[in-house]
Chains A and B, each alone.
Chain A
Amino acid sequence: SAVISQKPSRDICQRGTSLTIQCQVDSQVTMMFWYRQQPGQSLTLIATANQGSEATYESGFVIDKFPISRPNLTFSTLTVSNMSPEDSSIYLCSVRDESGYTFGSGTRLTVV
């Protein structure tokens, strides 16, 4: 399966600021996904990022709040913009590969 490197692993940010999370994959993949994992809740899909096209956002998530870039088949970024304490969560990138769906180790974000 693909190996995913996600950065940063954790961060503490001030409200009103933005954080960009990077996801690097060791092989070329068509589909990349960004998830949010809040305590006691299911992993929730934020958006699907395909190279060469705009990301597709799930209900409740908008591009202005979570802009995504996908410049090539091995890299993507998710930005959490104008953060509030409600954005404190774990953010995970995932790819669809020959094994199924592989996840990065996540970014633990705390907004103060």
Chain B
Amino acid sequence: QKEVEQDPGPLSVPEGAIVSLNCTYSNSAFQYFMWYRQYSRKGPELLMYTYSSGNKEDGRFTAQVDKSSKYISLFIRDSQPSDSATYLCAMKPGTASKLTFGTGTRLQVTL
């Protein structure tokens, strides 16, 4: 079993839809959680960075962490074609510097 599980998609939604992207993990030591967006032929770009449980909002993006269920989510409101990309979750324990990534979910927002 992988430490971090993420549905690879692809996920196709119409413009304006609310998108929900999710990851589950098995290591209870993970405390820091990140979401990256990666466009084709580009490096990953940090979208959200959260610590422990709870919600964090930034514009159209909301990150949720449920440590009791070992489940994290990224919500995208009013999705745009420019949101079409691969979304990667990443996480790490408190003291370590090594990130563990999910495989990424490919999102396509259609007009």
Residues on A close to B: CB < 8 A?
1, 4, 6, 31, 33, 40-45, 48, 58, 92, 96, 99-106, 108
Contacts and interface: CB of A to CB of B under 8 A. Distances in A.
Chain A contact residues: helix, strand, loop or mixed: strand
Interface in B40-84: 41-46, 49
Given A42-B2, A58-B98, 19 more contacts: A1-B46, A6-B43, A31-B97, A40-B103, A42-B100, A42-B102, A42-B104, A43-B90, A48-B97, A92-B43, A100-B34, A100-B46, A100-B49, A102-B46, A103-B36, A104-B43, A105-B41, A106-B43, A108-B41
Contacts of A48: 97-98
B16 interface: no
Q: Which of A6, A48, A100, A108 has the most CB of B within 10 A?
A: A100
A75 B6 CA distance: 33
B4 interface: yes
